[in-house]
Chains A and B, each alone.
Chain A
Amino acid sequence: MSGASAEGGTPDDGHRSHGIPWRRWSIVLHRDVGYLAVALTIAYAISGIAVNHIADWNPNYRVTKTFTTVEPIAAVAPNDLVPVAMQHLKLTEQPRSSFQPDSNTLQLFYKGTTYHVDLPTGKVMMEATRARPVLYEMNQLHLNHSKRAWTWIADVYALALLLLAITGLFVLKGKNGITQRGGWLTAAGFLPIVYWLVFLR
């Protein structure tokens, strides 16, 4: 992709007879746009693999659930539930907020951690959520969660990839060029699409 050399084929200095040196422009564009696209290509490729398997894992967060038991919380006035639960859990910091999904359960929300307390039994599930370093940011970019200006940046990147694909066809000529081996390989690149059309659609 980037830094393309003319190995295996001779770069044409351009079809000067036609006035515009197309092959030279292809090589220059392929090389320089390729360099520019490296960072985003790496980020998008890694994120692509990560989010492709979203059914098997959470590519953005590591969620860990641990269990413990505290003294049951019974016969406590509704307004006292949170302070009593905090006391039992030995928590000193006030939670962001709390919620009772039903009369037996109390949830305490802290930044990054939620405590689910089963009041009659004292069983507690601590659910800790941590964003996966780097991967979280890559996914945010790849899936364009931030919208706004990133939509345009991603569009420019997509156009850059298109340019790389087209100019890549004309970097080499000769036995490895598009008219020979390169042509067969380019055709082979369409096979996954055909497979999808025939078997997976």
Chain B
Amino acid sequence: MTRIRMAACALALLAITAATAAAQGKAYGKPLTLKEKTPISKILADPHAFAGKRVQVEGTIVEVCEERGCWINIASDKPFEKIRFKVDDGVIVFPLDAKGKKAIAEGVLSVTHLTKEQAMKQALEMHKERGTMAKFDSTKYLKGVTDIQIKGEGARVVE
């Protein structure tokens, strides 16, 4: 009888642990340290105000690097916006099936200006990799673009 009770307790403990782990999601890289999240829309509205600063963002993962899992795009809290969360190759590897899940991600914001050539090259590579249906519009890159991304250090991905 005692053995059965002990087994039941162990099973219950295991179930609680598993449920807690599932609710907390899977952790990638370093632990999250910031207490406050910054809305992605706020960063995109004035990226230079956050350049070089550590930020924590939250949103749906809408794209994952197919080849190496070395970046994810996170949807903003406002429509049609997203931000790239880029990690060092191999240090963190996001699985492709993370698409559609929620990410809480932390890192340092990087703001760089890409020349017309750099922007065009990057956009063409992305277009080729995604195989999107939309036609490639080169006119968008004539003046170059401001590249905004978070140099990722740690993230948690939850269902």
Contacts and interface: CB of A to CB of B under 8 A. Distances in A.
Interface of A: 54, 58, 60-61, 63, 65, 67, 78, 95-97, 99-105, 107, 109-112, 114, 116, 118, 123, 125, 129, 131, 143, 145
Contacts of B66: 58, 61, 63
Nearest to A59: B67
The main secondary structure of chain B at its interface with chain A is: loop
B133 A125 contact: yes
B121 to A, nearest CB: 16
B123 to A, nearest CB: 14
Given A61-B66, A107-B62, A125 B97 contact: no
A55 to B, nearest CB: 8
B157 to A, nearest CB: 12
B101 interface: yes
Contacts of B99: 109, 114, 129
A163 B134 CA distance: 55
Interface string B37-60: 000000000000000000000001
A131 B96 CA distance: 9
Contact of A110 (B68, B79, B80, B100): B100
A97 B60 contact: yes
Given A61-B66, A67-B133, A143-B93, 16 more contacts: A54-B68, A65-B131, A95-B100, A97-B101, A99-B62, A99-B75, A100-B79, A109-B60, A109-B100, A111-B97, A111-B100, A118-B134, A125-B132, A125-B133, A129-B96, A131-B96
A125 B131 contact: yes
Nearest to A61: B96
Nearest to A110: B100
A116 B62 CA distance: 11
Question: Majority SS of interface residues in chain A?
Answer: strand
Contacts, number: 61
B82 interface: yes
8 contacts: A99-B60, A100-B80, A103-B80, A116-B133, A125-B131, A131-B96, A143-B90, A145-B93
A156 B133 CA distance: 48
Interface in B99-153: 99-102, 131-134
A63 B80 CA distance: 25
Interface in B53-93: 60, 62, 66-69, 75, 79-80, 82, 90, 93
Contacts of A97: 60, 100-102
Contacts of A102: 80
Contacts of B97: 111-112, 129, 131
